[in-house]
Amino acid sequence: MTAGALCAGVVMTEAVEPNVLLLYSIAAGLLLGRLLGGQVRNIEHIRFVWWQLALAGLAVQLILFADPIQERVGGEGPFIYVFSTVAVLVALLRNLRLPGLTIIATGAVLNLVVVLANGGYMPSSPAAWLELTGSAALPVSHYSNVALIGPDTLLPFLGDIFVFPRPLPMATAFSIGDVVIALGAVIFLVTAMRQAGPTMPPRGVPVPVRVRH
């Protein structure tokens, strides 16, 4: 799976907005990799093991946050979300040998810790949403894995307390864990793009054939 590591980086995808910082970091990583002489095709040589587990966890989250499911999931939502997130994180941890994956996994763990501490919900700053939407409330009316920070919130400094400002596209709130994930994604892409791909003989040069006797 060539881009499995970056897919796993979306471990903290939220119902309010996707991990926008990760999307921007992918674009930045691809651009920086090209500027440094890398090739996008080299990414396909990265071997990401247990990618099926990461894909399954992400698929569960996509289904969980689909409108028909969000309206009906009820109290099972946090459990399903945490379970799918742990599945993706396990796949990440299995691939720590890859460049940038240790950083991505660290960010994912930071996000997961605060989610677990708050009953399966990512705390989000009311001030951030006030700045983004003009209202100190979440812009959702159904299940979301995000909850506003209040007096009983644990580890609020690990929640979505930063703002990706307007007029930038897909402005939203994000956490320090998201920043760490984004940094790891850039490192992963740049390193993967600059690695040497399989050596191929120049065009027109015959490939020697080994004959067994």
Mean pLDDT of 67-96: 91
pLDDT surpasses 70 at 213: no
Q: How far apart are CA 160 and CA 173, in angstroms?
A: 5
pLDDT at 75 over 50: yes
Of all helices (H) and strands (E), which one includes residue 173?
strand 172-174
The highest-confidence range among 36-50, 64-78, 165-179, 189-203, by mean pLDDT, is 36-50
The pTM of the whole model exceeds 0.75 = yes
Q: How much is the mean pLDDT over the chain?
A: 85
Is residue 14's pLDDT more than 80?
Answer: no
Q: pLDDT by residue (tens digit) across 28-48?
A: 999 999 999 999 999 998 999
Q: Phi and psi dihedrals of 162, rounded to 5? A: -105, 155
Residue 68: its pLDDT value, please? 86
